[in-house]
Each structure stands twice: as structure tokens, then as C-alpha cells.
Amino acid sequence: MLAAEQTSPAPLLGRLNERLSGQLPQREFVAILLAIYDGDRGSITIANAGLPDPLVIPSMKAIAVAGPRYPIGIRKKLNYESVTINLALGDRMIFFTDGLPEAIVNGEPLGYEQLATEVRRSGGDIDALFAALDRLGAGHEDDWTAMVFERRG
């Protein structure tokens, strides 16, 4: 219902936060990233509430959103912001949860830099990425969730 009322990601996150803040049990929150793609323009608008910055493939540029990034449920009133970028034909974006960069390899978190290296090597193929992380011995203490979006002609 909220998405039908508000089709821009930042205000929609704000409304969702207001609604869920009063319903979530204390100390519980929801990390979420909303992205809306405009196929006519080849642009994607992103608002982020607590997830890692998505990466554009092949440039490996991290797309950071300014403003508060608190997960939903942390504070009742938040004014989330959004960022819009243009994707070239063939560009991809990988969206992922914090379980990937925080996966433990040899007693240390994998980290964003190593994750970006593995994403680049895999070409953004999720199966190949997860297989590479398994070969590194990355632990599964947290979820490994990822999604790739590609702009096609």
C-alpha cells in the first residue's frame, strides 16, 4: 500500500520506517535498500537503510547514498535520501547484504576490497562469486545474499 502512495525510494523508506518503528519489538530492525529503475532513461534511483553500498560492474564503483543510513526501526523519524545514477548498456549492479564482506576468512573479515576483487573476477555471476568465497574458506556465520541487476538493450 505504501509503494502505491509513494513511488520515490527515499520518501517510501521514510514512510515504511514510520510505520514499522511502532510495530517492531525493541532492539529489532530491518536493513533494506530500495532501488527503482527507469528503463527509458537507463537510470536507477537508490535509497539505503542499513545495507552495504551496491557496486557497479565493470567499474566497481560503490554507490553511496548520503544522509542517514539507519536501518528501519532504529529511530521513528528519519529523512532518508536517494541517489540516481545512469547505467550504460551492459552495466550491472550487485546488491548484497553485510554477510558477504563480513564473512570470516583465516580469522579475519573478508572486507569490501577483497569482496570487490572477487566480484570483478566473477564478472558479477553470483554462483561464481559464492564458489570463489567457498574456495577461500569464507565462513557462513551470517547470510550470503546478493542480487545482480543488468541493463540490457
Question: How far is CA 48 from its chain centroid?
Answer: 7
pLDDT at 143 over 80: yes
Instruction: In whole angstroms, give the CA distance from residue 107 to residue 85.
Output: 36
Q: Cis check for the bond before 58: say yes or no (omega within 30 of 0).
A: yes
pLDDT of residue 44: 96
> Which phi and psi angles does 21 have, rounded to 5°?
-55, -35
Residue 95 carries which side chain, given as an amino acid letter? F
Cα angle value 142/27/16 (rounded, 5°): 90
pLDDT of residue 5: 67
Q: pLDDT for 82-122, tens place per residue?
A: 999 999 999 999 999 999 999 999 999 999 999 999 999 99
Q: Which domain holds residue 63?
A: 2-150
Task: Count up the domains in the chain and report the number.
Answer: 1
Q: If you average pLDDT over residues 18-46, what whole number do you get?
A: 89
Instruction: In whole angstroms, give the CA distance from residue 116 to residue 119.
Output: 5
Instruction: In whole angstroms, give the CA distance from residue 140 to residue 138.
Output: 7
pLDDT of residue 21: 83
Higher-pLDDT residue of 129 and 73 is: 129
Give the CATH number of the domain where residue 43 resides.
Answer: 3.60.40.10
pLDDT at 13 over 70: yes
